[in-house]
Chain A
Amino acid sequence: MSVIETQGFKLDNSGKRVVVDPVTRIEGHLRVEVNLDGDNVIRNAVSTGTMWRGLEVILKGRDPRDAWAFVERICGVCTGTHALASVRAVEDALKIKIPDNANIIRNLMELTLYAHDHLVHFYQLHALDWVDVISALKADPKKTSELAQSISPWPNSSPGYYRDLLARLTKFASGGQLGPFKNGYWGNPAFKLPPEANLMAVAHYLEALDFQREIAKIHTVFGGKNPHPNWLVGGVPCSLNVNEVGAVGAINMESLNRVAKIIDDTIAFIDQVYIPDLLAIASFYKDQLWGGGISSQNVMTYGEFPDIANDDSNKSLLMPRGAILNGNLKEILPIDLRDPGEIQEFVTHSWYKYPDESKGLHPWDGVTDPNFVLGPNFKGTKTNIEVLDESAKYSWIKAPRFKGQPMEVGPLARYVVYYAMGIPEFKEPVDKVLKDLGLPLTALFSTLGRTAARGLEASWAAHKMKYFFDKLMANLKAGNTATANIANWNPATWPAEAKGVGACEAPRGALGHWTTIRNTRIDLYQCIVPTTWNGSPRDPKNQIGAFEASLLNTKVAVADQPLEILRTLHSFDPCLACATHVISPEGEEVARVAVR
């Protein structure tokens, strides 16, 4: 047993160890272990990625123009965002410029993902941490209707609507088959909503599940399907044709009208359902301001949504790039993804081996050499782990660091950076929410703050879809229909050696793909993804990552019900398939496989 001090936190693993595995309502496989003191307060937290797929080695030797399809399959929840990072990395390496329309359509695709992903996260993955489904059975439909109509003009709000829903829920609950709601933490004292708010939220859980299908159709129009729409190095695969022969065979006025309608409907749903629900729920939980972790210290965003095609400087990015270290909100640091000293990955506590584990490696110098060993204090067997030993290696996730420090990424990180930059369209909604809830700015650094930032961002993204759609229409009016640049499509035009980086700001945070191309084939491919940052294990200095830090010092209402733990972990929207995509050699042979 030991006590470690790091980043202003004290880690004490002497208390009762509680294991949560699987952590559910996330993408992929995650385990968390915590130590509770005598008052059920979390004094130590250990987060472990429990899966590993090896996509990067699979890419070696492939055609770089195919890479987007492989890496898109890193994740079907963040669908498309890895493909976007990939085509950017390849275009960077091969000096390919894309047409303005392709830039606009890519922005629309990524914004669609933001709106869709945030909405599904809030209702399908996160809501059951705040909403007690069984309590909803005690609601008065008339009062629920009054509550709903007092906070939003959303039309599905009559007493009859809620009466029908209540009847359906009551019969469902009494039928004996609770399905996905079975064994939930219903009745836990950490649930604070009155029955009427619970019933309203359940109604919107079901409505959101229906509506999310619509948002995804924008991917289908431009990319042919969702999940996993199609992309193209050099532009986008779809063509535009609104007033010429054969327009029915391309993106035409009918398909554009569909996109326009979905954008309007998405704005309406987010602004009239998601945001009012978020504020209503937050008003009952606003005294629970734990879970901030390192969000008040170290946050980072690579930036996204270039307004000018092929320009990723901050004058072009609608979400700029920047980092904050040590809580110094007065200084926004630039980020150089090519600098070998800025972004590095460590493996002292990860199931990999480096020649010298005291040092980190930049992705272009990346080494991934699996080494599944368990520390001296683990309990169980190698294939039946009861308790992990965090003093040794304990996760399939590597530990990325920016200038040697762990960083939080994602919606809250972005809102902190953009608030510090003073950008009105991010700062003003934050100020308004805080004012409405009667909370100080520091309240942002919390589990609730993370969840609120995601909601505000969903609204921002939906409105920005309209902005880019209007730009697309303006181009079409001016007769500009180009969507692809094929000048460097033929590999014969490529240099013998090239290297590139593709940065992307995914819904879950900063995403980077680094590649080198040799003789028209991929020689090296490395990704550092948002959940690698947030779910990072410890590093050689014992610095903890965002998940672990955010769990500390939280009081758990019922020791064997991990409700508060789920709430905080879910506030990051963890994506484990993304975090643990890294490479390995074939079979059990342990060898160094990815050296530049």
Chain B
Amino acid sequence: MIETFYDVIRRQGVTRRSFLKYCSLTAASLGLTPAHAQKIQQALETKPRVPVIWLHGLECTCCTESFIRSAHPLAKDVILSAISLDYDDTIMAAAGHQAEAALEDTITKYKGQYILAVEGNPPLGNDGMYCMPGGRPFVEKLKHVAKDAKAVIAWGSCASWGCVQAAKPNPTTAVPINKVITDKPIIKVPGCPPIAEVMTAVITFMVAFDRLPAVDSQGRPLAFYSLRVHDKCYRRGNFDAGQFVENWDDAAAKQGHCLYKLGCKGPTTYNACSTTRWNDAVSFPIQSGHGCIGCSEDAFWDQGSFYDRLTNIHAFGIEANADQVGAVVAGVVGAGIVAHAALGAIQRAAGKSKTTEAANK
């Protein structure tokens, strides 16, 4: 008999009281009501662990490193209890033939039931041989595993957008995974890397609810990517009051004023950094004195210097979602945002911003 998540954590000495608290915290962190906490609880009590295959293409492993920083839940508990991480070349014990056998075994045994998590992306140049695990193009391995997956998670900006190796001139023709996986729902969790607790929340949500999280027109979970860093920034008051850091380490910097004039991309970046914050909420880039570089946005490497100031940002913005911002914000760096925000508005108007379809755009 395959044990459930609940069995496992109870066996680990977690009390029922702590378990219920965990469920309500998870619901709260996802912005859900107490009624949803009950659903999470029921799901975790009754479901076997979901097999996950975690592939690595062209990448830097920062997503894996971020994942293991998760404070709630701990990566240990996700790996040992919430999911069954059947293949992940960064941590698995087996190598070579034994590793590949484990992969094939899961694909066969759990056909249509496993989740494929992808870190990095496939290069298409040189017949795909710029990334050749097992002596074959990574893109083939990716398609092979995707074929029988239930759903796909694109970890980080590499899998979601292309990220640094796809920055101009993209020497290896690296592409986001939705360019080669076209028949499966893909949940994009961008960021370089994504926030640890966002990663574990997305996967826990999928396990608990047995469905995909609601996403925007770009395939990003609404729960974490529907507001700009700027919208919830604790330095927003300084922005609105016109209190700006003019130079590194000046008097305003020592008081934590707004970093907009030093190039902060918070006003055009959709991510949870200013709310969830990083590493168990210790800090986030702006709190530690450096502007946001926009690492969860498509093509953020190719929007001018990280220290170039955004132009035409309205000084007194009101709460705005991605689509509304698209209507009012235009700027050098904001150009990309405008384009996809407008796309979002069109789709919303057509009533098409539902999860599966949108994720494949």
Question: Which residues of A approach B to under 8 Å, CB–CB?
Answer: 19-29, 31, 50-55, 57-58, 62-63, 65-66, 69-70, 73-77, 79, 120, 124-125, 128, 133, 164, 167-168, 171-172, 175-177, 179-185, 206, 209-210, 212-213, 216-217, 219-230, 232, 234-241, 244-251, 255, 258, 370, 372, 380, 382-386, 396, 481-484, 486, 489, 560-562, 566, 577, 583-588
Task: Decide if B89 touches A24 in the complex (CB within 8 Å).
Answer: yes
Complex interface: chain B residues within 8 A of A588 (CB): 125-126
The distance from the CB of A179 to the nearest CB of chain B, in whole angstroms, is 5
- Assuming the contacts A57-B171, A221-B283, asked whether A124 and B91 have C-beta atoms less than 8 A apart, the reply is yes
What is the CA–CA distance of A213 and B75 in the complex, to the nearest angstrom? Answer: 10
Within 51-74 of B, Cβ neighbours of A (below 8 Å) are at 51, 56, 58-66, 68-71, 74
Q: Look across to chain A and name the residue whose beta carbon is closest to the beta carbon of B238.
A: A249
- CB <8 Å contact, B279 and A179: no
**Given the known A-B contacts A69-B306, A235-B249, are A245 and B278 also in contact in the complex, defined by CB atoms under 8 Å?**
no
CB distance from B217 to the nearest CB of A (A): 26
- The answer, among B84, B140, B279, for a CB contact under 8 Å with A216, is B279
Residues 288-303 (chain B) with a chain A CB within 8 angstroms: 288-290, 293, 295, 301
The answer to whether B131 touches A21 (Cβ under 8 A) is no
Task: Tell me how far the C-beta of A238 lies from the nearest C-beta in chain B, rounded to whole angstroms.
Answer: 4
Is B94 a contact partner of A55 (Cβ separation < 8 A)? no
Residues of B close to A69: CB separation below 8 A: 293, 306
Mark the stretch among B23-31, B95-103, B204-212, B311-319 that contacts chain A.
Answer: B95-103
- Residues on the B chain within 8 Å of A234, using CB: 248
Which of B34-42, B219-227, B250-258, B323-331 is found at the contact surface with chain A? B250-258
Instruction: List residues of chain A with CB within 8 A of the CB of B71.
Output: 213
A540 to chain B, nearest CB (A): 24
Question: Do B255 and A21 touch across chains, with their CB atoms under 8 A apart?
Answer: no
CA distance A184 to B174 in the complex (A): 32
The reply to whether A209 and B75 form a contact with Cβ atoms under 8 Å apart is yes
From residue 93 to 113 of chain B, which have CB atoms closer than 8 A to chain A?
Answer: 93-99, 101-102, 105
Bound-complex Cα distance A225 to B198 (A): 14
In the bound complex, residues from chain A placing their C-beta under 8 Å from that of B93 are: 24-25, 128, 133, 180-185
Contact in complex: B255, A76 (CB < 8 Å): no
Among candidates A19, A176, A219, A224, residue contacting B286 with C-beta atoms closer than 8 Å:
A224
Tally of B interface residues using CB under 8 Å: 105
What residues of A have a CB within 8 angstroms of the CB of B75 in the complex? 209
* Docked-complex contact B133 and A25, CB < 8 angstroms: no
User: Is the beta-carbon distance between A587 and B125 smaller than 8 angstroms?
Assistant: yes
The answer to whether A180 and B79 touch across the interface, beta carbons within 8 angstroms, is yes
Q: Would B290 and A383 count as touching, CB distance under 8 A?
A: no
Question: Which residues of B are found within 8 Å of A216, using beta-carbon distances?
Answer: 69, 279
Write the B117-129 contact mask toward A (1 if CB under 8 angstroms, else 0): 0000001011111
Contact, CB under 8 Å: A24 / B61: no
B69/A213 in contact, CB under 8 A? yes
- Shortest Cβ distance from A128 into B: residue: B93
- The answer to the question of B164 belonging to the interface, with a C-beta cut-off of 8 Å to chain A, is yes
Q: Does the CB pair B92–A486 fall under 8 Å?
A: no
Of the residues A171, A177, A229, contact of B49 by C-beta under 8 Å: A177
Min C-beta distance of A93 to chain B, whole Å: 17
Are B193 and A76 closer than 8 Å at their CB atoms? yes
Contact residues of B between 234 and 253, Cβ < 8 Å to A: 235, 247-249, 253
B133-A22 in contact (CB<8A): yes
Contact A250 B165 (CB under 8 A): no
Cβ–Cβ contact A167 & B11, under 8 A: yes
Assess the A383–B127 pair: CB atoms within 8 A.
Answer: yes
Max chain B C-beta neighbours (<10 A), residue from A50, A58, A183: A183
User: Is the Cβ of A58 less than 8 Å from the Cβ of B288?
Assistant: no
Q: CA of A176 to CA of B1 in the docked complex: distance in angstroms?
A: 8
B133, B168, B249: residue with the most chain A Cβ atoms closer than 10 Å: B249
CB distance from B1 to the nearest CB of A (A): 8
B232 shortest CB reach to chain A, Å:
16
Residues of A within 8 A of B76 (CB): 206, 209-210
Contact with A along B79-92 (1 / 0, CB 8 A): 11001111011111
Q: Is the CB of A73 within 8 A of B290?
A: no
> If the complex has contacts A19-B96, A237-B288, are A29 and B132 also in contact, measured as CB distance less than 8 A?
yes
Asked whether any CB of chain A lies closer than 8 Å to the CB of B163, the reply is yes
Q: Does B182 contact A (CB under 8 A)?
A: no
Q: Are A239 and B254 in contact (CB under 8 A)?
A: yes
Contact at A51–B12, with CB atoms within 8 Å? no
- In the assembled complex, the Cα of A81 lies from the Cα of B242 at a distance in Å of 36
26 contacts between A and B (CB under 8 A): A21-B133, A51-B130, A52-B172, A58-B169, A63-B307, A177-B84, A180-B91, A183-B98, A210-B74, A213-B68, A225-B279, A226-B278, A227-B62, A228-B62, A230-B288, A230-B290, A232-B290, A239-B249, A247-B255, A249-B235, A249-B256, A250-B253, A255-B283, A385-B135, A585-B169, A586-B169
Q: Is A227's CB under 8 angstroms from B169's CB?
A: no
Pick the contact of B172: A53, A182, A245 (CB < 8 A).
A53
The answer, yes or no, to whether B349 is at the interface (CB within 8 Å) is: no
B80 and A384 within 8 A (CB): no
Question: How many angstroms between the C-alpha atoms of A483 and B254 in the bound complex?
Answer: 10
- B255–A232 CB distance below 8 A: no
